[in-house]
A and B are shown apart, each in its own frame.
Chain A
Amino acid sequence: MTVSATIVLRGRGVVGGRAEGEALVTREAIPGWGGVNPQQGVITETHHELRGKSFKDKVLVFRGAKGSSGWSAMYHTARLAGAAPRALVFNEMTTKVALGAVVMRVPSVTDLDRDPLDLIETGDWVMVDGDLGIVEIQKRT
């Protein structure tokens, strides 16, 4: 097994706690109500590049949140259904993603010193520390 170097990004913690998992990455904003099936944890928006993909138990790495004001309620529902992501890493702060991260109660980090979308690919192993505002990336080999 090849051990790759760990990349460390520093930013601002949004929701505290520590979690790790496999990354699911999109440069697109993530939809809420009407673009996601919260009980299965699947993106359903017609034109979305992650359409049909599940974020359940993943570390979701994304640009930001978009669409309906039902964003937080959808991801809150995903938490109740056991289909929420394990952690969030995102670039653009909005009320939708802030409230969504709070009620999902998952470690979340933003304002990173380098663009996570340039450095993290789907399948990489990512650790998110929301207390320290740190993201550690182990590239898939």
Chain B
Amino acid sequence: MASSLVVTCPECGSYNSARASVCRQCGAVLKAERAQRPRMQKKLLRRTDFLAAARANQANTRRLVLILVAVACVLGYLIGWNIQIYAQAPAHTYGQPAPGDWSPWFFSAWGAIGAAILAGVSLVWTFVAFKAGDRIVMRMTGARQVGPDEAPMLNNVVEEMAIAAGLAKPKVYIIDTPALNAFATGMSPGRASIAVTQGLLDTLNREELQGVIGHEMGHVVNWDIRYATAVTVLVGLIALVSDGVLRSFYYGGGRRRDSRGGGVVAILLLVFAVLAPLVAKLVQMAISRQREFLADATSVRLTRNAQGLISALEKLETSAQPFDGANRATQHLFIVNPFRNFSEKASALMATHPPLSRRIERLRNLGAKGY
């Protein structure tokens, strides 16, 4: 993409046309001098248009998932090509005429097989994750399911938000930790689960809890939970394969015989194996950050009350309790980043969550609209 046609949003990292003054994804100001004009001020108030944001969100996610699959395919192709050269197999093995016939030079039958295998594996893996993903995540975070007898208020609040969204009531889980956090998972709006920590239940009042549950219900309504699972699986697969490639270079590097440009291809693979997990990670972060703003907005649409979520986020901001139940694979599921120190020091590009101050500011903006 040419840099003159496209600008990157400083807040959420999504691409915008160079003429746009407001990010189409998250509504952030792209041109500071234009934000001063009165017409722009009105536009900024209107910027949380739920339906348009949800549509852009879905389209963007589909594009990003495609990018991830493409990265996996290229990785598979390079691996196959390398194995072919390493094994000194003829360039065209399946019914091709002469072994010396390299046309075009970059075609490799083994590479095509490698790409197909990795694409197939990512599909199967995604399918498995769609079937069992919520249970795996719940076990990873150590959450236990609670019924209406054990936690009546939490169950009531979840049911209220489900009614407001017009969905079936999700399953309710509690994580026994003093940290303040919450997340949603599940494969479809009809079969979702919402988990909150014990610390959150003890600290927040009913109104604030409603804001937080509304945020999680927003992830459910917007199908974020499913895309998050798919993205997690793809990022994990790319990281795993790249790691394997780098290890094989480390251990098998000395035995490499150089023939017919094999060195160039090997370097190509090496570079790609280093870059692919980075690209995948960036894609994952971008998806995650866009969704947090949208879920906040959906929460306000469901509760018609921005104040509850604002004061909940303020309490989450001041709480310093670390949460051990989260790891790198599940961190983007939570309402606030469980690795507090990491998110504050890392650059905006690598964070899974937008800064809390930005989110609170957005909610205040929504409140000014009369919600």
Question: Do A and B make up one complex?
Answer: no
Which residues of B are at the interface with A, using a C-beta cutoff of 8 A?
Answer: none
Which residues of A are at the interface with B, using a C-beta cutoff of 8 A?
Answer: none
